[in-house]
């Protein structure tokens, strides 16, 4: 049986993406075959599709760390043919063929059964970006963060993680400062619930002082680098920050002061390798008390053939919100 997939190949020391016809027998020898109905585009996918060896070592390769679809065949005991399921992270889309193909074959230990009150399409409006935002929020709420504690922030707010973080904070009643370098998106961000929009350039500076005016009770940082360094110093007593991005840089310039004088907690979030039962908890939240009724309003749906162009956009920092790949797209 044949299927279509995006394949990243190395040619003359450059990496190219093409849509190819593959055979099911080309898939890895794992226990569960899934017909993919939807996937989504993440920054990590774009890195894999551009030949970043820190993400994917082996080429040719099909990226895509997200997939939602229907089980066609399984030798495992946990699922049965016809089950609607979600797969995010682990090695899928890194060195195991991923969701940018019409079929995947993965271990059952990577699979979450789709909750009843969410569609396959909606699940890929969230995807790994939404899962990451949910994991960040889970950490902050477990820390004790409440709307009455004061303003929270989201950095990198026009990206996939940022948009969903903003929407989730607003759903739960928080006052949110949206930090972005795309000030032309202010109206869009306020429509999602931002109380104010802050120019990232006011924070993308060398550390001014190890302790600055306390502004935020917490937040979600999807950027890292100098922006995170300055946000750490601008938190109030017993604040908490969940960090999950590094597009702003790998280094973190800080001091011990915010941690021992203000009791700051800094949480690192790794969505790819999160325990399966934690992922199940987040997906259940997305289908119940964290359900975003307007999640589909801010999604760009594309076909597999349109995917290479969207990969170029995300690498150039031009993507706003989420991109969903629909395999039955007409």
- Give pLDDT, residue 136: 98
Please report which confidence band the pLDDT of residue 330 belongs to, taking 50, 70 and 90 as the band edges: very low
Residue 84 has pLDDT above 80, yes or no: yes
pLDDT tens-place string over residues 287-309: 999 999 889 888 999 999 999 99
- Residue predicted with more confidence, 131 or 205: 131
- Could you tell me whether strands 152-155 and 216-221 are parallel, antiparallel, or unpaired per DSSP bridges? parallel
Mean of the pLDDT values across residues 306-329? 89
Residue positions counted in the chain? 330
Structure tokens of 125?
């409006």
How far is residue 9's CA from residue 60's CA, in Å, rounded to a whole number?
Answer: 4
Mean of the pLDDT values across residues 308-319? 91
- Give pLDDT, residue 12: 84
Structure tokens of 144?
């004790």
- Give pLDDT, residue 305: 95
* Whole-number average pLDDT of the chain: 94
Domains of the chain, earliest start first: 2-114+294-326 (3.90.180.10), 128-268 (3.40.50.720)
According to DSSP, residue 171 is labeled H
- Give pLDDT, residue 216: 97
Q: What is the DSSP string of 212-241?
A: ----EEEEEESS-HHHHHHHHTTEEEEEEE
Residue 329 has pLDDT above 80, yes or no: no
Structure tokens of 150?
């004061």
- Give pLDDT, residue 276: 96
pLDDT tens-place string over residues 86-145: 999 999 999 999 999 999 999 999 999 999 999 999 999 999 999 999 999 999 999 999
Residue 328 has pLDDT above 80, yes or no: no
- Give pLDDT, residue 249: 86
32-46, 144-158, 205-219, 279-293: range with lowest mean pLDDT = 205-219
CA-based R_g, the chain, Å? 20
- Give pLDDT, residue 198: 96
In DSSP terms, which residues pair with 61 in a beta bridge? Answer: 8
Q: What is the DSSP string of 3-52?
A: EEEEEEEEETTEEEEEEEEEEGGGS-S-SEEEEEEEEE--HHHHHHHTT-
Residue 247 has pLDDT above 90, yes or no: no
pLDDT > 70 in the chain, percent: 99
pTM of the predicted model over 0.85: yes
The answer to whether 40 touches 133, Cβ cutoff 8 Å, is no
Q: The sheet that has 265-268: what strands, in order across it?
A: 196-199, 176-180, 152-155, 216-221, 235-243, 265-268
Residue 56 has pLDDT above 80, yes or no: yes
pLDDT tens-place string over residues 139-195: 999 999 999 999 999 999 999 999 999 999 999 999 999 999 999 999 999 999 999
How far is residue 197's CA from residue 209's CA, in Å, rounded to a whole number?
Answer: 23
- Give pLDDT, residue 19: 96
According to DSSP, residue 206 is labeled S
The answer to whether 63 touches 41, Cβ cutoff 8 Å, is no
pLDDT tens-place string over residues 258-296: 999 999 999 999 999 999 999 999 999 999 999 998 898
């Amino acid at each position: 049986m044949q299927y279509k997939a995006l394949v990243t190949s190395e040619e003359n020391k450059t990496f190219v993406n093409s849509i190819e016809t593959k055979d099911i027998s080309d898939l890895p020898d794992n226990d569960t075959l899934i017909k993919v109905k939807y996937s989504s585009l993440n920054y990590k996918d774009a890195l894999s599709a551009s030949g970043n060896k820190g993400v994917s070592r082996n080429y040719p390769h099909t990226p895509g760390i997200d997939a939602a679809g229907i089980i066609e065949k399984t030798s495992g005991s946990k699922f049965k043919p016809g089950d609607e399921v979600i797969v995010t992270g682990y090695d899928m889309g890194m060195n195991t063929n991923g969701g940018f193909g019409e079929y995947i074959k993965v271990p059952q230990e990577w699979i979450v059964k789709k909750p009843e009150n969410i569609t396959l399409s909606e699940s890929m409006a969230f995807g790994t970006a939404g899962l990451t935002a949910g994991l960040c929020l889970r950490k902050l709420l477990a820390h004790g963060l409440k709307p009455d504690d004061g303003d929270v922030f989201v950095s990198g707010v026009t990206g996939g993680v940022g948009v969903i973080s903003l929407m989730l904070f607003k759903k739960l009643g928080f006052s949110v400062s949206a930090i972005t370098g795309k000030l032309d998106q202010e109206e869009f961000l306020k429509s999602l619930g931002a109380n104010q929009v802050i120019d990232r350039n006011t924070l993308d500076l060398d550390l001014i002082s190890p302790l600055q005016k306390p502004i935020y009770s917490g937040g979600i940082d999807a950027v890292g680098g100098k922006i995170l360094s300055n946000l750490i110093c601008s938190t109030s007593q017993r604040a908490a920050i969940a960090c999950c991005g590094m597009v702003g840089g790998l280094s973190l310039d800080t001091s011990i002061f915010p941690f021992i004088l203000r009791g700051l907690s800094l949480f690192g979030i790794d969505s790819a390798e999160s325990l399966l039962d934690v992922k199940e908890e987040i997906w259940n939240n997305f289908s119940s008390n964290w359900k975003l009724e307007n999640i589909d309003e801010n999604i760009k749906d594309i076909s597999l053939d349109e995917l290479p162009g969207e990969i170029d956009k995300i690498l150039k920092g031009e993507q706003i919100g989420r991109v969903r790949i629909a395999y039955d797209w007409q």
